[in-house]
Amino acid sequence: MKWWHRLKKNPLARLGAIILIVFYLGAIFANFVAPYSASETTLDGALLPPTAIYWQNQQGELIGPHVYPTTQGPVEIETGERQLKVDLDNPCPVRLFVKGTPYKLWGIIPGNRHLFGAIGECKIHLLGTDELARDQFSRLIFGSQVSLSIGFVGIAIYFPIGMIFGGISGYFGGWIDTLIMRVVEVLMTIPGIYLLVALAAVLPPEINSAQRYLLIVVIISFISWAGLARVIRGQVLSIKEQQFVQATRAMGGNPFYIIWRHILPQTATYVIISATLAIPGFIVSESVLSLIGLGIQEPDTSWGNLLSSATNASILVLQPWLVLPPALLIILTVLAFNLLGDGLRDALDPRS
């Protein structure tokens, strides 16, 4: 386990791992972490800025963290800005593990406790609300379930395909190798983002977000396995000449058994590193498609469709809390996977 000790000594890899653990725990326990459901609205609460948290009441007494009922007020004619109506006479304590919207964790375990929340008639919006008065922080948490899972679903589809075809191509050679490599070359010439846009645009409008999600994953996987197959083929060409493979072949081992049991496991180092670097590509692809309206659609949420309001310049200026948090989360996730992937590459390098 020397590679594990080398990985733990890499501070950047540890940082990436910590970020990913926090994000994925938030996605797994989204119903508990989010103070409200993704569709719950606040009365007169459209486009509220992040809720201010106070520690002292109006008399200057320290009463702990609390918020006040806040709604949108009238629009100023001169500036076009909305005035907030804050009821300073009714403070609401902010506490951990408060009772709130009922839910079923993972669709099985019923509960109504949330990680944090405001007690009373107030609502706490850490990242403000959107144009439909929905809590932006809660929608980010629920959106992470789609954006963070799409990478693992994608590699679960295209990695086996790439490894199997790459292994068969490199082991058998001849016309099989020629045929598979020509298919790979054709697939690698297809511009990925344009294919995604073209195929996503012709999807029937009546399909739901779950079906659209699966189709997006399949499309991305279809154009992604070719590069992996080509690299695996090159490694298999070298590995199949090793003595342990030659000995198994001389003993009458089945070719497919040799590929699966003896050759492909030797490529595990590359596969692990490649997987950590491939997942961000799926996340970015889903975000781009959802951003331009061809991915996950409302009322379902993902980080990509939360960014769709970024196409409106006035929102970037007046309501930056709608676009900056999902963009920052995407950047942090991609960066964390790259840091972890670089750390794994260094730790698993036999020359280290």
pLDDT tens profile 147-172:
888 888 888 888 888 888 888 888 88
pLDDT higher at 86 or 200: 86
Residue 72 CB neighbours (<10 A)? 18
Output the average pLDDT for the chain: 81
- Contact by Cβ (8 Å): 144, 30: yes
Model pLDDT, residue 105:
87
Q: For residue 1, what pLDDT is reported?
A: 61
Task: List the one residue out of 99, 142, 132, 134 whose CA is nearest residue 118.
Answer: 99
Calpha distance 333→15 (Å, rounded): 11
According to the model, what pLDDT value does residue 22 have? Answer: 94
Better-scored residue on pLDDT, 107 or 336? 336
Look at residue 19 and tell me whether its pLDDT is greater than 90.
yes
Nearest Cα to 245, choosing from 257, 258, 229, 264?
258
H helix runs in the chain, sequence order = 2-8, 11-28, 30-33, 136-172, 174-188, 192-201, 209-222, 225-239, 243-250, 255-258, 268-291, 303-306, 313-318, 324-348
The pLDDT value given to residue 313: 66
Determine the pLDDT at residue 323. Answer: 83
Q: pLDDT grade, residue 78 (50/70/90)?
A: low
Contact 334, 283 (CB under 8 A): yes
Answer whether residue 31 shows pLDDT above 60: yes
Q: What is the pLDDT of residue 120?
A: 83
Question: Distance between CA atoms of 241 and 261, rounded to whole angstroms?
Answer: 15
The pLDDT tens digits of the residues spanning 184-228 come to: 888 888 776 677 667 666 777 677 776 777 777 777 777 778 888
Per-residue pLDDT band for 21 (boundaries 50, 70, 90) equals: very high
pLDDT of res. 265: 76
Q: How confident is the model at residue 32 (pLDDT cuts 50, 70, 90)?
A: very high
pLDDT above 60 (res 315): yes
pLDDT per residue as tens digits for the range 250-282: 777 777 777 777 777 777 777 877 888 788 888
pLDDT tens readout for residues 239-256: 877 777 777 777 777 777
Buried b (16+ CB within 10 A) or exposed e, 199-227: bbeeeeeeeebeebbeebbebbbbbbbbb
3-state secondary structure of 240: coil
pLDDT tens for 97-130 read 998 888 888 888 888 899 999 888 888 999 888 8
Res 306: pLDDT: 83
Q: How far, in Å, CA of 183 to CA of 155, rounded?
A: 20
DSSP result, 146-210:
HHHHHHHHHHHHHHHHHHHHHHHHHHH-HHHHHHHHHHHHHHHTS-HHHHHHHHHHTS-TTS-HH
> In terms of Cα–Cα distance, which of 106, 129, 136 is closest to 34?
136
Q: Is pLDDT at 70 greater than 60 in this prediction?
A: yes
Do 200 and 169 touch, CB atoms closer than 8 A?
no
Res. 93: pLDDT tops 70: yes
Q: Which of 54, 123, 118, 134 is nearest to 88 (CA)?
A: 54
For the ranges 65-79, 84-98, 181-195, the maximum mean pLDDT occurs at 84-98
The C-alpha angle 158, 22, 67, rounded to 5 degrees, equals 135
Nearest C-alpha neighbor of 152 from the set 48, 297, 280, 265: 280
